[in-house]
Copies of this chain bind each other. A is one copy, B any other.
Amino acid sequence: MKKVSIALLGCGTVGKGVIDLLAMNGPLIEEQLDTEITIKRVLIRDMPKYEQMELPDDILLTTDFADIVNDDEIEIVVEVMGSADFAKDCIEQCFKKGKSVVSANKDLIADYGMPLLKMAKECNVDFQFEASVAGGIPIVRPMYSSLNSNTMEEIIGIMNGTTNYILSNMTDTGMSYETALKEAQEKGYAEADPTNDVSGYDAGRKIAILATLGFHSALTFNDVSVEGIENIAQEDIQHAREMGYVIKLLAIARQDGDGISLNVHPAFIRKGHPLANVGGAYNAVYVRGNCVGDVMFYGQGAGSLPTASAVVSDVMNVILHCNINITGSRDFVWHDPKLKPQDSICAPYYLRMVVDNAPGVLSSISAVLAQHKISIRSLIQKDETTEIAEIVILIDSSAAGLVNQSLKEIEDLACVRKIANAIRVIEV
């Protein structure tokens, strides 16, 4: 049986998962590859912390990346650290030394995936990153090797478990955003500083990666317009339910003859749609190709062993390639993307506003919408007190620029106290 030595950069949740998975499924994996896998070295930051972890005795811990990159026995390096810049530097050094790399690092791939893939090819090594999007769900490889006969039209993902957990909890229990966030933090689903998740940045990085592959376009996180869930109130959840929708944080990539748009924002999605039923911390990616039609991938988007499942499958692919000397042989094609102006992106909108409970209010608001040729699909007015009323309007598909301009003008009306929310309806 052949032998291959690998190294891990990082030993957090995912790194530990890789060690555990290889211990659990080692014989099955080695039989498939006719190759014995040894984790030879692990790069860590804090030696005392890891000396207390019960890692197998034969793994050498180091705080010095040079120990790994200069070890010629190590053929494959698994990067599971998280930060982008240091990881990028390490990976480039690995490539130069002829080592293939598997990464689970979405921050890195979203910003540097394309140049790293190019460099890997030049160095005749593999660079694989299935785990960077949606944890254990196979989506990166299917995108470039199973759906690649299609012109991709749409990729819509629920790709952040934290926000899906919070929104599902708000929907199921009626709790407020603040309470749901606190509970998610207590249960370990949200971090102490939840910004990266709740503001949509994490989902934005993942959609940039998938759109790069699906649209064969040089896209990065900078191309994604991002909006988080911080402004979603229980009232919005309830109005959505009454109208037959649920609210999800969606990452949306679309491509048509006019160009590409990349967005992350909360959205109304109709109850019967497969994406609407993705609950808790689960992830799902819904893809529409011009021939395959709509396809959805669903599963656990995070966690130690699910993410390790994707990482180790990548390692197995690299080993297969090493064994027949074809690392670095896959070509990826990219074009410069033509991005659509955000103002031109159309969707129906749900609008919720707090207004004076007085005659003429509806007429003033609908006049503004009419002036911008925005058509009202439905409207509900509820008196909150004798002084204040709440108005909920569903408008037909309208360009974001027009909607925003209208909302500014409506907010300037003397009878309008505030625009409480404006949420797009995604019709798929």
Task: Tell me the A residues contacting B by CB distance below 8 Å.
Answer: 17, 21, 24-25, 28-29, 31-32, 34, 130, 136-138, 141-142, 145-151, 216, 272, 274, 277, 289-300, 303, 305-306, 308-310, 312-313, 315-317, 320, 324, 326, 329-331, 333
Contact = CB atoms under 8 A, between A and B. Distances in A.
A135 to B, nearest CB: 8
Contacts of A277: 272, 274, 277
Contacts of A146: 130, 138, 141-142, 310, 313
Contacts of A331: 32, 34
Contacts of A329: 320, 324
B309 A31 contact: no
A102 to B, nearest CB: 11
B290 A294 contact: no
B292 A305 contact: yes
B24 A290 contact: yes
A331 B29 CA distance: 12
Contact of A295 (B141, B299, B315): B299
Nearest to A305: B291
B149 A316 contact: yes
A7 to B, nearest CB: 18
A358 to B, nearest CB: 45
How many subunits of this chain does the assembly comprise? 2
Main secondary structure on A side of the interface with B: mixed
B136 A309 contact: no
Nearest to A330: B320
A303 B295 CA distance: 14
Given A142-B141, A324-B326, A324-B329, A151 B28 contact: yes
A25 B297 CA distance: 23
Given A298-B274, A299-B292, A149 B29 contact: yes
A306 B292 contact: yes
Contacts of A316: 148-149
B293 A305 contact: yes
Contacts of A312: 149, 291
A276 to B, nearest CB: 9
B32 A216 contact: yes
B326 A290 contact: no
Closest 4 CB pairs of A and B: A138-B146, A295-B299, A149-B312, A292-B309
